[in-house]
Amino acid sequence: MKRRDILISSIAAALGSAAHAQMGNAPVRILVGAPAGGSTDTLARTLAASMGPALGRTVIVENRPGAGGNIAADAVAKAAPDGNTLLMSFTSHAINATLYPSLPFDPVKDFTALTAVATSPSILVAHPSLPASNLRELIALAKARPGELNFAIGSVGSSLHMAGEAFKMQSGVNIVNIPYRGTAPAVQDVLAGQVQLMFAAVGNVQAHIQAGKLKALGVTTAKRLPAFPDVQAIAEVLPGYESSAWFGLFGPARMSPELTRQISDAARQAIKQPEMQRRLETEGAIPVGNSPKEFSAFVQGEIKRWAQVVKFSGAKPE
């Protein structure tokens, strides 16, 4: 081995040892601001199982739901920057920056962005009885019947709620929101024809679309999804429209570069594991695994992007 290679290996080993020393031997906790059993929770648990061996540590998940993820985020923002307390967050981390008039933390300055885990595209679905078969027909129908059509939304301020608001903002239609306590009851009422429309995560409605119980009108990604090649991207009718939920891993602010790199690398390695890939596919999600710098820039861009939509919506936190 060349002297230069030996030096590089020695430096890398030293940095790894320093990062391990900062973390100690206590279990690493990933806080999740959502209830057990949901997409964020299941992704966090699968990620934790794969990260543990890479870190040489036990990684556990703690659910701290409430306030759109803010309770868990606040706990991580106030945690020591030793890598022992992490946050598995989601799109609301960016939306809440505008939705809430005041937060006990800064969604950028009080966190260390580690990596985006995945994105989750959504799809605009309708009850089969709705007399519109595509996006242009829907927009024409909504303009002819302002305030008569309804969107079911599983949670005020969620990414799916804001997907609908962005659609209304860009198309100029008046569609009334019907809020529910969760996605499942919202989907059930659309299936029953109680509400005509809904933006839903692909994984939550794909089987219903395939069974003909719901009809798909548009996907929220910039281009059509391979799973639905015949369903328009909304951007084909409303140029520039795009809205995908995302899941990402954060630590407290002021984590050292070495520790940030070690945890980010472990998470990105975990995202590539077969079990994580299977879980993402089940959830209808797309793996990401970008660098801390890339993820930080993405979050800042998301905060700016959603601010306009939140203000348009007039939504208030529940």
pLDDT tens digits, 64-112:
999 999 999 999 999 999 999 999 999 999 999 999 999 999 999 999 9
Over residues 26-53, mean pLDDT: 93
- pLDDT value of position 8: 44
**How is residue 126 written in tokens?**
């309708």
- pLDDT value of position 2: 53
Residue 281's pLDDT band (boundaries 50, 70, 90)? confident
Over residues 133-143, mean pLDDT: 97
| 182 closest CA partner among 156, 162, 208 | 156
- pLDDT value of position 17: 52
248 touches 113 (CB < 8 A): yes
Helix (H) or strand (E) holding 137: helix 135-144
Residue 39 predicted with pLDDT over 90: no
Domains 3-120+245-313 and 121-236 agree in fold: yes
Per-residue pLDDT of 216-269, as tens digits, reads 999 999 999 998 999 999 999 999 999 989 999 999 999 999 999 999 999 999
Q: Rounded CA gap, 199 and 217, in Å?
A: 10
Residues of the chain above pLDDT 90, percent: 81
Residue 28 predicted with pLDDT over 80: yes
Per-residue pLDDT of 166-187, as tens digits, reads 999 999 999 999 999 888 899 9
Residue 11's pLDDT band (boundaries 50, 70, 90)? very low
Residue 1's pLDDT band (boundaries 50, 70, 90)? low
Q: Which long-range contacts (CB under 8 A, 24 or more apart) does 16-20 make?
A: 16/258, 16/262, 18/256, 18/258, 19/83, 19/256, 19/258, 19/259, 19/261, 19/262, 20/56, 20/262
Residue 155's pLDDT band (boundaries 50, 70, 90)? confident
- pLDDT value of position 183: 87
Homologous superfamily (CATH) for 121-236: Periplasmic binding protein-like II (3.40.190.10)
The alpha carbons of the chain give a radius of gyration, in whole angstroms, of 21
Over residues 274-283, mean pLDDT: 88
Mean pLDDT over each residue of the chain, to the nearest integer:
92
Q: How far out from the chain centre does Cα 257 lie?
A: 25
- pLDDT value of position 296: 98
The length of the chain in residues reads 318
Residue 23 predicted with pLDDT over 60: yes
100 touches 69 (CB < 8 A): no
Q: Where are the domains of the chain?
A: 3-120+245-313, 121-236
| 223 closest CA partner among 238, 211, 237, 233 | 233
Q: What is the pTM of this model?
A: 0.86
| 213 closest CA partner among 148, 129, 139, 132 | 129
CATH code at 3-120+245-313:
3.40.190.150
